[in-house]
Structure 1
Amino acid sequence: MAVREMAPKANGEACGVCGGRTYVIERRGDQALARTCECSGNCSVCGGRGHVLVEREAEFSQKVGPRRYEVMEQCVCTQRRTRISRFNEVGLPAVVSHASFDNYRAFNEAQDRGRGVALHFAHQYVKGGPSKGFILSGPVGTGKTHLLAATLGHLVLELGVRGRYVEISLLYATIRRGFQEGKSGGEIIGPLSEVEVLAIDELGKGRGSPFEMETLDELIARRYNAGRTTLFATNYSLEPEKRAVRSAAPTGYRTTEDARSAARDADLLRERVGERIYSRLCELCTFVELPKDTPDRRRTRQEMDAPMHHAAGGSRTLGR
């Protein structure tokens, strides 16, 4: 997640604060927000004017031939401020303020593929052009939100793309609050429908009420019809399991296998969002599924830290 301009120190080394990226991403409240690094506060290119004269060459007629001319263009410092401002509109949660492709840790081949899909998408994305998104499926704590954040950060800070991030259950809550303030759901969904790249996290989460299904259907339908790129992350499986056709059980009776089958169905994304939305996802996205046994990184970190805390506690006891 870096703007192309690099900011060296006076001795030629990269800034120790931003690493030469010219910006810093920090946790402020519940959001990840960016600011210009102090090393780039005074622009040495434009002297603070915000624009520069650039020489161009073009042929306006065969008779005259190539001619050189000067045009006024935005300086890199103005471009950086614009991109930082757009990044601060994305709405990324503070917990992923550190997220990048470089610090994503893969525990298995599927996670490595997930990183590769997201990285390829980010680096091959053409601003304003059609682009197929991706959907990451896997257990909690496997880095899906990390990859969404890394992707959006690259698109916004490197390419100047307008992007947004939403956690689906929080979107539902925002719309419900909007109803109390006299707003329609369309007023809230509208900007999300029009943004160039939207990342929807926790797809399938919720009660599955008619309101939630209609909201999700409208949002995805609008983006689908407009040909806009959408990225997703979900805890529900993408692959429908093949089931043998069984004879119907007597009314009011449910076999153990029926119950197990229903439980498995509840873990499928297509059961959570419906066939219409799932069908569109198949066209809109590259599917990446992480195995159910992929380690929960948050839990693994906690379990690794626990023995250290116990050992420290024991030492204090022995010292008394």
Structure 2
Amino acid sequence: MVTKAIGEVCGECGGRTYVIERRGDRAHARVCTCSARCELCEGRGYAYEVREESFSAKVGPKRYEVLVPCVCQRRAKRLEHFNEVGLPGVMAHASFEGYRAFNEAQDRARNLAMHFAHHYDKAGVNKGFILSGPVGTGKTHLLAATLKHLVLEVGLEARYVEISLLYATIRRGFQEGKSGGEIIGPLSEVEVLAIDEMGKGRGSQFEMETLDELIARRYNAARTTLFATNYSLEPERRGTRAAAPSGYRSTEDTKSAAREMELLRERVGERIYSRLCEMCNFVEFPKETTPDQRRMRQELEPRPGPPPGGMRSGR
């Protein structure tokens, strides 16, 4: 156990009492070593709480102690719920503070996600959001930061799914004798669900029916859903599609260009898109001014120079 002086902030957790790290392909939360033994309950899991209540007008208010679960038990439950969210391991350290905005749309998306997370109404209906933009522009980062706050700080239960992996999970379930409903059921009932890569897939009947069932269940139950997609939300782009460029283009290049110009409405259908309009606030990152941050980091990374002693010819 790490000991620290009174008033000193732990260098491992920064005073949060828990640590989030990458384990395999998932983000994992654990109690920090500085808080392994709770100072309030000394590891018992329960502590006394002073309450005041009037049992009669003649006696007046009376104070008494009751044994209640310690705050460390609540923390342990929240960490357990976080480890069930399914956030990608690469997003273990995603935060609102660590998100870099390059334009007004990204700044608006961060502010929208932060406001949603910090003002979530447990007793009311909360409108979700959908982020649209090119790859590598931080959409998954904002989804992860939002879910982390909701689960660890607010105490909600949430899930993250990438839509193509959900389809693959259901197909494997069929081989094991499970129905699609057994897998979709928990996702339909969780308080907040984040669906990444919305619109991705082959657009088969199986995929469309699966997505329609999941969205319909959550819509009918007024549950909050967050989305991220690479497909445009802007209907006006339909009439302004660029003409095909001259010169040689491979079949795959042509298909890729066509996919980039597709609208989310065309990928998910009018029924689902109409429900998204009611369930979410929309934010779209402009393709022309929103850089791929992963690509930027790779291009700015110093390249290794020649080995000591200069270039050597190979044989």
What is the letter of the counterpart of residue 35 of structure 1?
A: R
Q: What residue is the counterpart of 1:118 in the other structure?
A: 113
Describe the superposition over 1:150-204 as per-residue Cα deviations: whole angstroms up to 9, x where unpaired: 0000000001100000000000000000011111000000000010100000000
Gaps of 5+ in 2: 246-253
Q: CA RMSD in A?
A: 2.4
Query: d(CA) in 2 for partners of 1:10 and 1:264?
Result: 58
Q: CA deviation at 1:60?
A: 4.4
Structure 1 position 107 matched with structure 2 position 112: no
* TM-score of the superposed pair, with normalisation by structure 2: 0.89
Report the CA distance shift for 1:256/1:45 in structure 2 as closer, same or farther (over 3 A). Answer: closer
Shift of residue 72, structure 1, vs aligned partner: 2.4
**Structure 1 stretches of 4+ moved >6 Å:** none
For the residues of structure 1 that align with 2:48 and 2:244, how far apart are their CA atoms? 75
Partners of 1:138 and 1:67 lie apart in 2 by 59
- Structure 1 residue 21, shift from structure 2 partner: 1.0
Taking the aligned partners of 1:61 and 1:132, their CA distance within structure 2 comes to 45
Q: Is contact 2:231-2:260 (8 Å) kept?
A: no
Counterpart of 1:252? none
Aligned counterpart, 2:306? 314
Residues 1:290 and 2:279 are matched in the alignment: no
Amino acid at match of 1:140: V
Give the distance between the partners of 1:273 and 1:60, measured in 2 at CA. Answer: 60
Contact 1:266 1:272 in 2 (8 A): no
Q: Secondary structure at the match of 2:306?
A: helix
2:109 maps to a residue whose letter is G
* Offset from partner CA, 1:66-88 (integer Å, 9 cap, x none): 33232322211111111100000
Residue 29 of structure 2 aligns to a residue whose secondary structure is strand
Are the counterparts in 2 of residues 8 and 14 from structure 1 also a CA contact under 8 Å?
Answer: no
8 A Cα contact 2:232 2:261, kept in partner = no
The alignment covers a number of residue pairs equal to 298
Supply the distance in 1 between the matched residues of 2:104 and 2:175 (Cα, whole angstroms).
Answer: 47
Does residue 1:276 correspond to 2:271, yes or no? yes
Question: Residue in 2 aligned with 1:251?
Answer: none
| 1:299 equivalent in alignment to 2:291 | no
Matched, 1:36 2:31: yes
Quote how far apart the aligned CAs of 1:57 are.
1.9
SS in 2 for 1:314: coil
Contact 1:128–1:196, Cα closer than 8 Å, also in 2: no
Asked whether the 8 Å contact 2:218–2:224 carries over to 1, the reply is: yes
Cα distance in 2, alignment partners of residues 315 and 189 from structure 1: 54
CA distance in 1, matches of 2:291, 2:201: 24
Map of 2:251 onto structure 1: none
Please give the residue correspondences for 1:189-204 in structure 2 after superposition, counting only pairs within 5 Å. Answer: 189-204=184-199
Tell me the equivalent position of 2:143.
148
Deviation at 1:127, TM superposition (A): 2.3
Which residue is 2:4 aligned to? 9
Q: 1:73 to 1:143 in 2, by over 3 A?
A: same
The secondary structure found in structure 2 opposite 1:43 is: coil
The residue correspondences of 1:55-134 to structure 2 (distance < 5 A) are 55-134=50-129
The percent identity for this pair of structures is 73
Letter in 1 for 2:190: V
Q: So what's the TM-score if we normalise by structure 1?
A: 0.87
